[in-house]
């Protein structure tokens, strides 16, 4: 005897289908983030090998000459160079404290370890490769003790920290306006910081590119570990993802 499906049964089936679709989307997103992290790691490794082998990067000189010609905008470059450095670590550590306060202890640990790894990687590669900065000039905009240029700490930290915070906002907020407004503003800020460091002749464009790769690697790893059901998703969040 065939069982006739009741309206209640249909609603249950629909809810199960939506849950399955949501789970599949979450899995695809997680795989995409992991792929991004791996691409970032590979990109940073490749750039490190090229610079360490003293290979001439073809786009370095043209972009450096172009950006350096914008010296009339030096006050703007100085401002964004400072904003892209000094506030970033306090913002990142503040985010770690907020996560811990919200009970997201594993997620806080992941972010803290990524911040530490990013700092160690940046400073370690600077010392290891000892790539001189293109033109130091009067020494302005050079952080004391960081006479080497590869990779750019500004670039890595900005992409990593602003990206992690942006992903958290995207997962927690349902407002598309706020989501996209943050992404546009954060992306524009990173682009201007990238230009400022080259325009001030404190970095080669390849330094900035390597930093971007490193930041994307950290962002991808954060997204992977904090994905729904991931190691850092404890306790599980109920916010939209």
CA separation for the pair 34, 224 (Å, rounded): 6
Query: Above 80 in pLDDT, residue 21?
Result: no
Minimum mean pLDDT range among 30-44, 90-104, 124-138, 176-190: 124-138
Q: What is the predicted pLDDT for the residue at 54?
A: 92
What DSSP string describes 162-210? HHHHHHHHHHH---HHHHHHHHHHHHHHHHHHHHHHHHTTSS-HHHHHH
Percent of the chain predicted with pLDDT > 90 = 63
Asked if 192 and 80 count as a contact pair (C-beta separation under 8 A), the reply is yes
User: What are the residue boundaries of the structural domains of the chain, listed by start?
Assistant: 27-225
**Residue-wise pLDDT tens digits, 104-154:** 999 999 999 999 999 999 999 999 999 998 864 444 445 544 678 899 999
Classify residue 151 by its DSSP letter: S
Which of 167, 157, 12, 8 has the alpha carbon at shortest distance from 91?
A: 157
């Amino acid at each position: 005897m065939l069982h006739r499906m009741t309206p209640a049964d249909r609603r249950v089936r629909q809810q199960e289908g939506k849950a399955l679709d949501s789970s599949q989307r979450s899995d695809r997103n997680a795989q995409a983030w992991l792929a991004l992290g791996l691409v970032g790691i590979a990109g940073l490794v490749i750039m490190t090998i090229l610079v360490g082998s003293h290979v001439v990067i073809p786009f370095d000189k043209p972009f450096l000459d172009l950006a350096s010609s914008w010296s009339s905008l030096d006050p703007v470059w100085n401002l964004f160079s400072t904003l892209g450095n000094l506030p970033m670590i306090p913002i990142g550590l503040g985010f770690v404290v907020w996560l811990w306060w919200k009970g997201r202890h594993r997620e806080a640990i992941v972010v803290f370890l990524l911040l530490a790894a990013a700092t160690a990687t940046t400073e370690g590669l600077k010392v290891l490769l000892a790539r001189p900065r293109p033109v130091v000039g009067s020494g302005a905009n050079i952080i004391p003790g960081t006479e080497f240029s590869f990779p750019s700490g500004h670039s890595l930290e900005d992409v990593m920290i602003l990206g992690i915070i942006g992903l958290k906002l995207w997962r927690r907020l349902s407002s598309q306006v706020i989501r996209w407004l943050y992404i546009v503003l954060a992306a524009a800020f990173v682009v201007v910081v990238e230009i400022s460091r080259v325009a001030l002749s404190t970095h080669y464009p390849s330094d900035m590119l390597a930093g971007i790769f490193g930041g994307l690697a950290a962002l991808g790893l954060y997204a992977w570990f904090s994905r729904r059901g991931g190691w850092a998703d404890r306790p599980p969040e109920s916010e939209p993802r």
